[in-house]
Amino acid sequence: DVKVTQSSRYLVKRTGEKVFLECVQDMDHENMFWYRQDPGLGLRLIYFSYDVKMKEKGDIPEGYSVSREKKERFSLILESASTNQTSMYLCASSPGLWSSYEQYFGPGTRLTVT
């Protein structure tokens, strides 16, 4: 079974803090993704990575950065957290670049910025 784990289930941070969200997958997948889920908007892609040290912007990269130093680990960084970044953050991985590859999701981190 593919397992995608995220470092925290719930996180509360203050405005202006630097926030790190960690994601680890154990299936040697090439691709990793960060989404945020908001009511009425579904899942929106923030960044994805198709290889170590490679990254591509998704639809809403502003205010975020990512790091992938090892194949199994993909980190999302909020440089200076703001209240509009309060959301559910979901990490996912997939084995390849083809459309048919499903993505495997972690349980999510609910981030609240006060």
Partner 1 sequence: DQQVKQNSPSLSVQEGRISILNCDYTNSMFDYFLWYKKYPAEGPTFLISISSIKDKNEDGRFTVFLNKSAKHLSLHIVPSQPGDSAVYFCAASKATDMRFGAGTRLTVKP
Which residues contact partner 1 by CB under 8 A? 4, 9, 31, 35, 39-45, 48, 50, 56, 90, 92, 97-100, 102-108
Q: Which residue has the tokens 């309060």?
A: 86
Question: Nearer Cβ to partner 1, position 39 or 69?
Answer: 39
CB of 14: closest distance to partner 1 in angstroms? 24
Helix (H/G/I), strand (E/B), else coil: 84? helix
In angstroms, the first-to-last Cα distance of the chain is: 37
Cross-strand bridge partners of residue 34: 47, 91
Question: Nearer Cβ to partner 1, position 60 or 80?
Answer: 60
CB of 32: closest distance to partner 1 in angstroms? 11
- Phi, psi at 85, each rounded to 5°: -100, 5
CB of 5: closest distance to partner 1 in angstroms? 10
Cross-strand bridge partners of residue 6: 23
Question: Nearer Cβ to partner 1, position 37 or 67?
Answer: 37
